[in-house]
Amino acid sequence: MEQIIGLMETRDAYFWATHGGAELDLFLMVRGRCYGFEFKYSDAPDRTRSMLTAVEDLRLDRLYVIYPGTSSYALDRTIEVIPMSSIPAMVESIHVRSNR
């Protein structure tokens, strides 16, 4: 989590939760865009109700699920699972998108 905050070069970093129990491990605002991050230890993370609530309530441009596996895959058009080794490439793509 600290690596992502440092690489994103922002101090707009938050934990988010609702009274209904939905949570998001990390919420970042970068140049007017909103990104969410979930950290899972599972071998094959799947979409959760909390993720869907976060995407909708926070109007996330993208939600990344970071896990210790080796494959990247989409859970839907907004939620993407990526391995920890892909964090630098993910940060670079966010910076490129944010500069548009």
pLDDT tens-digit series, residues 4-16: 988 888 888 999 9
Residue type, 83: P
The rounded distance, in Å, linking the Cα atoms of 8 and 10 is 6
Q: Within a domain: residue 36?
A: yes
Q: Within a domain: residue 27?
A: yes
Q: Within a domain: residue 21?
A: yes
30: pLDDT strictly greater than 70: yes
Is residue 98 very low, low, confident or very high in pLDDT (cuts 50, 70, 90)?
Answer: low
Q: How far apart are the first and last CA of the chain?
A: 25
Q: Within a domain: residue 50?
A: yes
- Average of per-residue pLDDT across 12-39: 93
Q: Within a domain: residue 53?
A: yes
The whole-number pLDDT of residue 32 equals: 87
SS (H, E, C) 6-35: HHHCCCCEEEEECCCCCEEEEEEEECCEEE
**12, 28, 39, 52, 74 from 2: Cα distances, Å:** 13, 12, 12, 24, 24
User: Domain residues for 36?
Assistant: 1-60
The structural domain count of the chain equals 1
Q: Within a domain: residue 19?
A: yes
- Average of per-residue pLDDT across 48-77: 96
